Structure 1
Amino acid sequence: MKRRSFGNRILMIFIPFIIIILLFTAFIGYKSYYNSLKKDKEKSMEILIEQISDNFDYYFRDIKTMIVYVSNNSKINEAFKYYQDMNIEERYFLKNEIDENNANVNILKNYISDIILIGNNGYKQNLPNNSSLDQNADLLELDWIKNYDSSKRIYFTMPHYTDYYARYLKDHLVVSAVFPIQEHGQHIGFIQGDLDYDKLNSVLEKVHDQNDIKISMVSETGRIIFDQDISRVNQEIDEMIYTKLLGSTGTFVIDSNREPAMYVYQQSEVTGWYLLAEISYRSMMKGAKEVFNQIVFVILPVSIIFVIAISYMLSLYIKRPLEKLCTKVEHADLEHYQEDSEEYGSLEIDKLGWKFDELLRRMDSMIKQVYLSEIRRQNAEIEVLREQITPHFMYNSLQLIKTEAVIAKNRRISRIVTSFSMLLRYSMDHTVKAVTIKDEINYISDYLNIYQMRYEGKFEYEIKVDDLLLKYQTQKMILQPIVENSIKHGLKDIAQGGDIKIIIYAENSCCYCEVWDNGKGIPEEKLQTLKESLCREESESGHIGVINVHQRMRLAYGDGFGIIDIRNDRDGYTKFILKIGYLTEGEK
């Protein structure tokens, strides 16, 4: 019987088998890539649509908020009811009052084109910093005003031109939100907010410039509101597409006379309009076609040639690598181990060599880890001794300073050192997380005493607390950041006459604390920013300590605890109100 060489056996059996596997793997890989690409494209379109819809809903909600804000001005209702009966002077002053209230409505909101007041009695007025309205234009005859939707509190119009200004801008398109105003069940006028069409449509144009996706916004009745092609605005959408818009979100495919395309849509929660994204299968599968060409014309041929070459080399050099590996195993010396990345000329033998090298590396690493762990343990013991020495040394040093002050009959220095020593001892005890309210009150009293001695006459303080509450527990060092905020920010510009009050009381089985100061107060805008930072639990410049207190209380006791209110009261005090713990037996 004729015996074949090892090399011939590999060439006749191994190579055809590998080629079949390569072809099968290429087919499965391409198919999987095709399906994965399709799903990824669909998912990315859904995410894109959701993001764009959120952007549009932000603008739509904002204009609704602005309209409602404007409607709260009682002077507008007065104008809608009595304007026709007013004399020129009364009309003049009424207009000025309304203008003053609306002057900054659209500041920093360049997408809000205008807000127009339209009364049934003929009264009409827009924002004072905008172009004047055409006094001859009958705004009550506008289609969206004349045929307003009484079923909705605020409704949105289709895009329209602003031909009701004295200086008509022919190409200026807007989308309007209309708020019918009623009093005692009687309709008296409208407030119309105009959104700049170009500003909103630019959101879609950015997407068009970066993708092959076409995005439109369609009304509930099937008319196009926003589109890359401005000529399609206010036109009816394809009936075949419109009938597929069912529910708030969805995906569908239409294979029309044109090339097949996939559509993803989402309905706006604010307007009820549909945001519709379209992408053709040709664009979507462009990447898959490129991958297919690379597999068929590059990867497969190169892989086949490579397999043949490797197989041939393996048959020639399989003996030499094995001998090389055996020699290395025989001469391995762990005590004088040096890592090397020697190659043996064969993938299988290389793996054996790498595994052997990995074994040696692990053994060497374990020896080093044991050595380093012992060093760390010794360092840790030294550090513990050092931590024990340092605080005691500082306390002894402060006690020495106090003794010298008493001998020198300097009671002021003695009081300062005593208070500082108590502060230091309290703050450096890291083993305790929860303390009694009594401990916290003693700490903050020492803290305030030091500040009083530093800024003599700058402020007085008062602490009110029921003795029954002193035994209950709360988190450590929660009052100091709040009081420090009052001194550094509230009383910053006060030379004398400052007043700080700390009030601790019980309510509904919980313990509350209020910190008052009669300083300059917190500006409303900054107060709102601070409250928003507390809600998001994000650090805000200048108030990191305050937000840290809020976060620690919420972590310790859960939602509803921490800083529950900050306000500037009419009595001249800025008040921080904290919910600092439970009044239960387990907390005594």
Structure 2
Amino acid sequence: MKNSIRSKLIILLLIATIIPFGLSIIANYFYTKNTVTKEFVNTNHDLLKRSGNDLLNYYNEIYGIPLSIYSNRPFLSVLENGATAYIEQNSAEIQRSLLGLYFSRREFVQLHLYLTKGKDDYTVYNAKVSSRGKLYNFNQIPAYRNLSYSRDSYYIQPTHPIQNYNNLSDFRIEPVKQVVSFHYFLNNVTSDQWLGFLSIDIELSRIKEIFDRIYKKGEEHLFVVGDGNVVLYSSEKRLIGKKLETKWYKKITSDRSGEASFDWKDKDFSGVYVYDKITSNHQQWTVIKSIPYKNLYHNSNQLLKITVTLGAISVLLVIILTIIVSFRFTRPIRILIRDMQRIEKGELAVSFDTLGNDEFGQLGKHFTSMVDTLNDLYIKEYKLQIENKTNQLKVLQSQINPHFLYNALQSIGTLSLKNDGIKVYRLIMSLSKIMRYSMKNNEDFVTLKDELNHIKDYLSLQNERYDGKFVYNLEVDEGLNKVKMPKMILQPIVENFFKHGFEKQQKLGELNISIHRQQDNRLKIVIADNGEGATEEELENINSSLSEDGLNTNESIGLKNISDRLHFYYGKKAEVKIESVKHENFVVTIILPIEMTRGEVNHEGSTNR
């Protein structure tokens, strides 16, 4: 039906899905285009920077190679004394040293050595050492002239055609190469004696390896420009060794903005120039890469195609899923959600008989069964908790230790034999009060005063039984006598002192009971003795048992029963903490609310359990 809610829902879902999705594709394309372009430019700038640093490191390697001359004492002696002093011996040393230097790097094309002493010079070219020549005027070589004036340790001559030093090399069998020349000023470091010059011409093979890996041949171009705007290396071979005087390069040299790229468009190129400047001690290079727009936007265009394809598939899936959800999934899901919300409010009932014969029908059946099971378990658990707590209280109230009763009566009998009638009477009265207090089952809560009187009667009997081998101290803040608390809380803890801590020791027993009102208006009860105490492992087990949830199955009167009762009455507002040091003490601390109505106690206890 065209006017049905389901049809409107399908149309609305499709519009709400397709339009935002289409707009997101458009926005994502432009955002991605800018992001990818920026990332692409940054990546290329990093490549240029790393390649520039590789070139700098390579130049530093070349610079360090001739330093081996100063560790070659025979060759250094030849430089100091001249080649003609011992002509045969010195010529052999010069030939050996120059060839060793020449073969140290495969890109070395030519070496030239000039000795100040005697004005002799030698060249190495094509793996051959020339005969001894004479260079009477070294100033005719510009590099030597500059070094003699500046006294710098070396000078790098930009890319240029290889030159013949003093006509000592034979270039007839090979075309002229483009080389970079390192010229060194040689001197004796200790005496500052000028020894001569050394020139090393290197071909561009290693430089080509450094830079050819960072651009696409035929699509992108690379330029490495050194001092004087001379092109050290370029993807356009015709520019190597020449000055670069294009408009876009002038823009780079005049740029002070700190940017590493800029857009450029003219009749020859349309794209982006990315560049980085590398500075060394004696020279500066600018590494430049031109990237056409088609390369720059290639990744973003590919991403757009992928996004549009995935978008079309996603829209188709959305249409199908929208129809399926509208016709099949909506009704049973809404019914289940409604019933779950009712259960969250505490109404354990379902409003449907069946949701069909498919998976939703099975889910509905299991859901109904689960609700019925929860209902039964809730009722059973609630009744079981009530019965358990009632039985625990009754057993605790009516139970008295037969061993204690036997010993107490034995003490009374002994006194009777001694005809001490007054003391016998007092003991019998204390015992009767204890039995009367323990067997009153109609009271859950008593005053603190009643509980303390019960403890005093109990301790008076124990004092007679043990013939004064222990002392006790009772410290209670004023105004607390009428405070209500659960019955039979303190006596089991005091009894534990005699059962587990006092009987095993030889020293005088001490029992201290202190009851104070805290600043947070809670009652703090501390029962401490100097008995056997507990080990760390025993103490950990005791505290662990007090924190465990569940029904108490322990039939003895103990700390677990007390902890369960307190948490039943007060919930998390009650605290029971045990501390002990083996052979030194055992301390039980109980913290209870002071001002709390009976109804509040029962309600919190039931929810806590």
Structure with larger Rg? 2
Normalised TM-score (structure 1):
0.49
